């Protein structure tokens, strides 16, 4: 190929490039909106606020689904058993807990009372409630067992007579009368057992209430008298819950 021919080819290539450049410029000037790069797309790391997202004039916002209300914070609180009061009853007649005491409200068995704060409530059977320090295996510290069962038509005096007859003679059992709630009750001191103990028997609304305090000895005497005073002074009979009103009392 001669030098002249090469120069002609090079000139043709240059002319082609110039023509192509002119064509691109013309296209850009006619339709510039197709190639505009916004500031947001230039910096993709910048988040776009929800408030900046606006629909165009021919766009309708999508209908938002209706969500169920969030009731997680409105769940019914778990009520302590001692304050588990059926809706049809009130505990207004019961003593309110004071400093260093707690209240036991037992609508199933129809009574309420105050007891020292260091005690806990145990329920070994459906008929029996025990107030004890630490746990049911602690038989050294003073404790009280409250048993409620049908009286079968007997009075407190008749039940006490039966207990005395079962023990027979030869025991130094002291018998006296006290008031428990609104009822006249029988108090028996010095009943024999693994430890000597005190028993209170009362009958109310056809039910026999038996309160057993133990151990009745010199070492536990002060603590037992404190527990006894709390129970007897604040013991109150209330209408027992029945049917649908029954709750898991202590």
* In a shared domain, residues 140 and 223: yes
Range of weakest confidence among 13-17, 34-38, 108-112:
34-38
pLDDT at 65 over 90: no
pLDDT at 111 over 80: yes
* In a shared domain, residues 111 and 182: yes
* In a shared domain, residues 124 and 218: yes
54, part of any domain: no
Instruction: Look at residue 16 in the predicted model and tell me its pLDDT.
Output: 75
DSSP assignment of 58-116: T-PPPPPPPPPP--GGGPPPPPPGGG---TT---TTSPPP-TTEEEEEETTTTEEEEEE
71, part of any domain: no
pLDDT at 146 over 70: yes
Beta-bridge mates of residue 120:
132
* In a shared domain, residues 39 and 108: no
* In a shared domain, residues 39 and 118: no
DSSP state of 17: H
pLDDT at 166 over 70: yes
DSSP state of 210: E
230, part of any domain: yes
Q: Which of 183, 182, 186, 108 is nearest to 149 (CA)?
A: 108
116, part of any domain: yes
Local confidence band at 29 (pLDDT 50, 70, 90 cut-offs) = low
Q: Which domain holds residue 115?
A: 81-245
Residue for token digits 């005497």? 221
* In a shared domain, residues 137 and 215: yes
236, part of any domain: yes
* In a shared domain, residues 116 and 14: no
* In a shared domain, residues 130 and 199: yes
23, part of any domain: yes
**Whole-angstrom Cα distance, residue 237 to residue 148?**
12
164, part of any domain: yes
* In a shared domain, residues 191 and 128: yes
* In a shared domain, residues 156 and 34: no
pLDDT at 159 over 80: yes
Burial class (CB in 10 A: 0-12, 13-18, 19+), 244: exposed
62, part of any domain: no
Instruction: Look at residue 126 in the predicted model and tell me its pLDDT.
Output: 93
**Whole-angstrom Cα distance, residue 241 to residue 250?**
13
Instruction: Look at residue 226 in the predicted model and tell me its pLDDT.
Output: 93
The answer to whether the CB of 222 falls within 8 A of the CB of 213 is no
Q: What percent of the chain has pLDDT over 90?
A: 48
CATH code of the domain in which 108 resides: 3.40.1000.10
Tokens linked to 228: 């006894």
* In a shared domain, residues 101 and 210: yes
* In a shared domain, residues 39 and 87: no
Instruction: Look at residue 1 in the predicted model and tell me its pLDDT.
Output: 58
Q: What is the domain count for the chain?
A: 2
């Amino acid at each position: 190929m001669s030098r002249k021919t090469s120069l002609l080819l090079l000139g043709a290539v240059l002319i082609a490039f110039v023509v192509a450049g002119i064509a691109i410029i013309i296209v850009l000037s006619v339709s510039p909106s197709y190639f505009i790069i916004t500031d947001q797309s230039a910096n993709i790391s910048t988040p776009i606020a929800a408030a900046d997202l606006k629909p165009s004039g021919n766009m309708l916002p999508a209908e938002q689904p209706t969500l169920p209300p969030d009731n997680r914070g409105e769940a019914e609180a778990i009520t302590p058993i001692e304050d588990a009061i059926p809706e049809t009853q009130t505990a207004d007649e019961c003593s309110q807990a004071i400093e260093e005491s707690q209240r036991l409200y037992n609508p199933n068995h129809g009574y309420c009372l105050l007891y020292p704060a260091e005690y806990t409530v145990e329920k070994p059977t459906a008929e029996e409630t025990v107030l004890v320090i630490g746990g049911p295996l602690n038989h050294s510290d003073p404790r009280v067992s409250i048993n409620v069962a049908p009286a079968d038509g007997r009075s407190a005096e008749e039940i006490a007579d039966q207990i005395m007859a079962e023990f027979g003679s030869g025991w130094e059992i002291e018998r006296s009368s006290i008031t428990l709630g609104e009822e006249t009750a029988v108090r028996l001191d010095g009943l024999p057992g693994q430890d000597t103990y005190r028993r209170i028997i009362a009958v109310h609304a056809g039910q026999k209430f038996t309160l057993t305090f133990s151990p009745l000895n010199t070492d536990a005497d002060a603590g037992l008298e404190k527990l006894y005073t709390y129970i007897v002074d604040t013991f109150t009979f209330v209408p027992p819950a029945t049917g649908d009103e029954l709750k898991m009392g202590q």
